[in-house]
Amino acid sequence: MPGPEPIQIDGVHIPGLGWLAYGISKQGLFLALFFFRSLHDALDRLKSVMGDQSGYVPVTESPAQAEWWRDTFQDYFAGGNPAEHPETVPLDSRRWTPFQSTVYMTLRDEVKWGETISYGDLAALAGFPGAARAVGTAMAGNTGGPFIPCHRVIGARGQLGGYSGIGGLDLKKRLLEHERLHPRIRSGDPEHP
């Protein structure tokens, strides 16, 4: 019987935000945790959170793959192509329920860089009117951040609501402020081909 599929881990520094640690599988992004003061802290926390989750074992990834993922995260937080087209980033969705998958894909595809949406409006947009609380639970289980941008989901009256990411509401505020201060780069922009 084959052993568990290894999760390859690495980290990347995002200017102005800190260190991000991530794990990937053959399917795509398995988990991302952000932001930390050092790469060591980021990777230690990632290993701790992943543990023996679903039988996965952290390993070191190949240099070419590491470079692609580092570039993708850096470009995303700069407002580049992955921010405009997050659907191009592969995600490991095997642990998601059908409800989570629908809500996450709706959030990814419909709520763009610098925008926000309420839990209730996201529930309705995803085809589950009245399921605001269930959407909040789904956001707490999001493993596809930042490409499933749960920081953009806020309360009905504009309050931030909860945020289960490391750093809590302070991180949610930082991410929303980061997007406000770093407009998304549109494809075809002559200054950013």
- Indicate left, alpha or beta for 150 from its phi (over 0: left) and psi (-120 to 50: alpha): alpha
Hey, what's the torsion of the CAs at 171, 173, 177, 178, to 10 degrees? 10
What is the Cα–Cα distance from 16 to 63, expressed in whole angstroms?
25
List CB contacts of 159: < 8 A, sequence separation 6 or more.
Answer: none
Catalytic residues: 150
d(CA 105, CA 124): 13
